[in-house]
Structure formats: C-alpha cells, structure tokens
Structure 1
Amino acid sequence: RLFDGPSPAIATVRVALHDRMVAHMPAMVTPSALSPRLTSGWLSKRLLDDAENPFPIELIQLCDDKLVRDEGFACEQDFAHLPEAEFTGEYLAQIGILRKGLHIRLRRLHQDLRREYLQSGVKRPRTN
C-alpha cells in the first residue's frame, strides 16, 4: 500500500487488485496515521484512552506539544509532582492551552495522577 496525496489526512491508498488493476481507496485516518509520535507519548495515550469523552487529535497534539515537549513533563510521575496550586487554568493559558474544556480534563488528569503516584505511597515505574 502506498499513500498518495499531500497529507495522510486526505490520502488515498493504492491497492493492487488481482495483480493487475490498481484502485484508489480512501485511507483510514487514525491518530497514528496523522502523527506517528502522537500516540507514543504518555499524555497523548492518556487523552486518547478516554473514549467516553474524545477530543479532536489536534487538541491532543496541542496538549502534548505544550506540556511534554515545551514544559518538559517527560513522564507521568514528573507531571504528578507539579503541585496542584501551580497547575491552574491561568498556567495552562499562559503556556498556550486556552480551551476551558482542555483545562478541566487536564486538571482532572493531574489530580488522578497525583493520587496514583503520590498519595498511594506505591513506587511505580516511570512511564514515558
């Protein structure tokens, strides 16, 4: 299969049929097709795993870019160690995450991870 087109989001897939004909079919657009690194980060995985309340891929990518790449939260444990008093809507807006729905989801995730890593007293392996 070969991708044709300017980007995977609007790509078509060439499929050989009966070793002679070639058909152009719409490609399945998946998060991994849109960005190979998107689903490999811990934050992207956490946001994608919330199937009941999905966010568009571009918003997940924004969160990953701002918090993991720019702010350096390379793993869940580092993120969990940020004090709750510092992880505010103002902080998120300051780093470029402006949508209130993202603020709510990220603050809830931060609280969950703080409970998981800090309040349980259990040492867990670092998740990258």
Structure 2
Amino acid sequence: MSRLPLLLLALLPFAVSAASPDKTCDDARTQLDINECAAHEAEAADTELNAVYRQVMQQLQGQPVAIEKLRAAQRLWIPLRDADIAARYPVGKDEDPRVLYGSMYPMLYSAAKAELTRQRTQWLRATFIDRVEGDL
C-alpha cells in the first residue's frame, strides 16, 4: 500500500485548521495560539481588502485618472497604516517589542493591523461601491 494516503490522512488536521482559522481561534488556549489566530484575522482582512480594491478598480475601468489616483492613495495608505501601528505600539531601534509589550505583542500588532485594514475596506466600499450602486 502506498504511504501517500497515510501521509495525507496525517496532515488532515493541519489542513483543516489552516482552512478554517475561526475554528483554530475557538480552540486557542496558549498565547502562541492566540497570536496565530490574530495573524489569521489580519490575513483575512487583507484578503478582503484586496478583493474590494480589485472590485473598485474594475468599476473604474475607462477612468485612467481615477485609477491612478486610487493606486497612489492605496500605496500611501499602506505605510500610513504601518506607521499608525508603530505609533500605537512604539518600539525603539534597539528595543525588543516582546520585552516592552510581552508575548502578546504579535497579537496586538496583528489585531491593530486587522482593525485598520477593515476600516480601509469599509471606506473603499462606502466611497466607491455602495455610492455607485446607490446612485444607479
């Protein structure tokens, strides 16, 4: 018998947890688990932002100036988001964030990133998608 089915069966729990981060979050017991959960939430927020951004860019087809301006705004927003998080949780050049904020620093950083990313997604939707659909 081939070992491949056994290997796939052994990896199934990891595939399920990666595919359903909410389940992993429900089961989070350690700080490491909670940090990973927060990282998954930040990734999910980023994925949603990218999908909405692509949708907006599609709506703006045929409007090269609007596309250029939105691209420029998005390129500026990303470093602004990161600077806002750095201002919320400041870490000096020679400082260790885990010393300053403890083992929950990755969770704090990821949660802030997810929050700001969701706000940006909401703004893009309200400004470009909902407004356009509501105007029709």
TM-score by length of 1: 0.27
TM-score by length of 2: 0.26
Larger RCO (alpha carbons 8 Å, 6+ apart): 2
Q: Which has the larger radius of gyration?
A: 2
